[in-house]
Amino acid sequence: MGTGQTLLTIAALALLSITVLNLNRNLASNDISLAQNRYRLEALSLLNSSLEEATLYYFDEATLDTSSNKTLNDFTSPNRLGFEANDNNVIDDFDDLNNYTAADTGRSGVVYQVNYLVDYVDVQAGRLRHSANRTYNKRIKISIFDTYSDPLLYKWQNGRKVRDTLSISYVYSYWFYN
C-alpha cells in the first residue's frame, strides 16, 4: 500500500471515529431527554390526580351540612384555612389542604413532594386576585418536584441544572342547589 492510500485510510478512520462519537453523543442526549420527559409526564399525572382528589372534598367545613344554604360568614376565616381543631389531621374539606405537604411515588419509583396552598379569590378586572375576605371561590395551587439531590425534573439556567417545580391552579366554587 502506498503513502497516498495510507493517508486516505487514516483520514477515513478519523472521519468514521468522529461520526461514531457524534452518533453516541446524540443517542445519550436523546436518552436523557426521553427520561426527563417520562418523569415530567409522571409528575403531571400525579398533579392531575391530586387535583381530582382535592375536588372530591366539601368546599368548607360548614358545607358538610347540606340541608341549607350557607352564607359567607359560615365559611372558614381566610387566616384559619387548613386543618380545624376537630379534624384530627384528617382531610374532610377543601381548605384542609392549605399548607399540606405529601410524598407521592409514581410508577417509576421516583418520590415526588406535593405541596398544596389554598386561598380565597375574587375576580377583579377580569383576573383572579387573592382575597383577604371570605368569598364563594377558593383557589388551590398544587406544586410538585422530585426529592433527589441531583434533580430528575430540572431546567438549565445559566449553564447549571436547576430543580424544576411543576404547578397547577384550580378554582373551586360553592354552589347550593335547593
* For range 131-155, the mean pLDDT: 91
- Position 133 scores a pLDDT of 94
pTM: 0.79
Q: What is the pLDDT of residue 175?
A: 82
Q: What is the mean pLDDT of residues 6-23?
A: 84
Give me the pLDDT at residue 177, please. Answer: 67
Q: Please check the confidence at residue 19 and state whether its pLDDT lies above 90.
A: no
- Higher-scoring residue by pLDDT: 25, 30: 25
pLDDT class of 178 with cuts at 50, 70, 90: low
* Residue 126 pLDDT greater than 70, yes or no: yes
pLDDT over threshold 70, residue 117 = yes
- Residue entry with cell 457524534: 22
Window from 40-54, 59-73, 112-126, 130-144 with minimum mean pLDDT: 59-73
Q: What percent of the chain has pLDDT over 90?
A: 40
User: Which sign does the torsion angle of CA 16, 18, 20, 22 carry?
Assistant: negative
- Mean pLDDT over residues 24-50, rounded? 83
Please state, in angstroms and rounded to a whole number, the distance separating the CA atoms of residues 55 and 69. 19
pLDDT > 80? residue 29: no
